[in-house]
A = this chain, B = another copy of it.
Amino acid sequence: MNLNRVLIYGMGLMGGSLAISLRTKFPNIVITAVVRSEKSKTTILEKSLANQVFLQKEFLSPDWTNYDLVVFSTPVESILKIIPSLPKSGNTIFMDLGSTKETIITAVESYYGNTTHHYISTHPMCGSEQAGPEAAVVDLYVDKLCILTKPKAASNSSLEWVRLFWESVGSWTMEMDSKSHDETLAYLSHLPHVISTLLVNVAGENSATMKEVLGIQKPITGGGFRDMSRIAGSNSDMWISIFKENQVFLRKSIDDFIEQLTAFRDLFGSGLPVDEDKIRKIWELALETKEQIRKTK
């Protein structure tokens, strides 16, 4: 695998962790980073995450072909703005780490048309409540899934190169088309983040609960609430970006959730006996589906 010159455009937790991992795999690699803030630049240089760091405003008309690999690790919205400026020839592999795929793939396919290119969209699933290059760790990608989405005119060789790349940092990969990716992720990731966040806010608005919570120094919660609230409110910028890119499927998943929750509520407290059989069936279905999704059986 030929990998000497890498540009990581946007170096937070994910880009920074990728840099650390690449250094251990490719000792002679030269890493260039582009970031928005002076603070990130300082952190990256202090931690030696990159050999050189540019601020975005210093990096306006780059020669992308100077790199073997360019990794976009910024919110999807800003990736969409860069795509129309990429070269249509050369051997540079382009790759993003975007959390949604449909808008990116549409932009890439519309820009390149039938011209063969080397842009592969990827989604390493390794979220964390941490953020920023200061949180970067060497093993962020180890044993994690990286989803690969190939635009129509992308070369097969670039897809295989990108697959090997992710395997080289310890990930396992699967391919998904952009629509399936965004719909699946709405249900398995975006909706859970919304639910976790609102669960905390609903408890926070209940005065009886907050009176008890604030009246004692230790947490009243058991493991259930602790787990259910871990991802609440994390990384608002990233999530706003995801919600913007995946509005249709996110709304669909929320509507489905409201429908099931409303039906569940109506099994209680209407004066009629509680419908134990229906509750038991809902519980049993969840146990079975949980095992299918988490592969825990």
A-side interface residues toward B, CB under 8 Å? 125-128, 144-145, 147, 172, 174, 176, 179-180, 183-184, 187-189, 191-206, 208-214, 216-234, 236, 239-240, 243-244, 247-248, 250-251, 253-258, 260-262, 264-265, 268-269, 274, 276, 279-280, 282-290, 292-295
Contact = CB atoms under 8 A, between A and B. Distances in A.
Contact of A192 (B144, B228, B231, B233): B228
Contacts of A188: 203, 209, 220-222, 225
Given A220-B145, A274-B247, A286-B233, A256 B205 contact: yes
Interface centre among A176, A211, A221 (most CB of B within 10 A): A221
A292 B213 contact: yes
A174 B128 CA distance: 33
A211 B292 CA distance: 11
Contact of A236 (B127, B244, B279, B288): B279
B231 A251 contact: no
Contacts of A196: 224, 228, 286
A145 B218 contact: yes
A62 to B, nearest CB: 29
Contacts of A262: 258
Given A125-B222, A208-B184, A265-B251, A260 B295 contact: no
A183 B204 contact: no
Given A188-B221, A195-B228, A209-B187, A286 B200 contact: yes
Contact of A218 (B214, B292, B295): B295
Contacts of A145: 218-220, 222
Given A228-B227, A229-B290, A233-B284, A126 B222 contact: yes
Given A253-B206, A265-B258, A228 B228 contact: yes
A283 B233 contact: yes
Interface centre among A189, A217, A233 (most CB of B within 10 A): A233
A187 B198 CA distance: 12
A208 B180 contact: yes
B232 A209 contact: no
B294 A197 contact: no
Contacts of A285: 201, 204, 233
Contacts of A213: 184, 292-293
B274 A218 contact: no
A176 B234 CA distance: 32
B286 A201 contact: yes
19 contacts: A127-B222, A144-B222, A174-B220, A184-B212, A184-B220, A187-B209, A188-B209, A195-B261, A197-B286, A199-B257, A204-B289, A213-B293, A214-B292, A223-B231, A227-B228, A233-B290, A234-B287, A236-B283, A239-B283
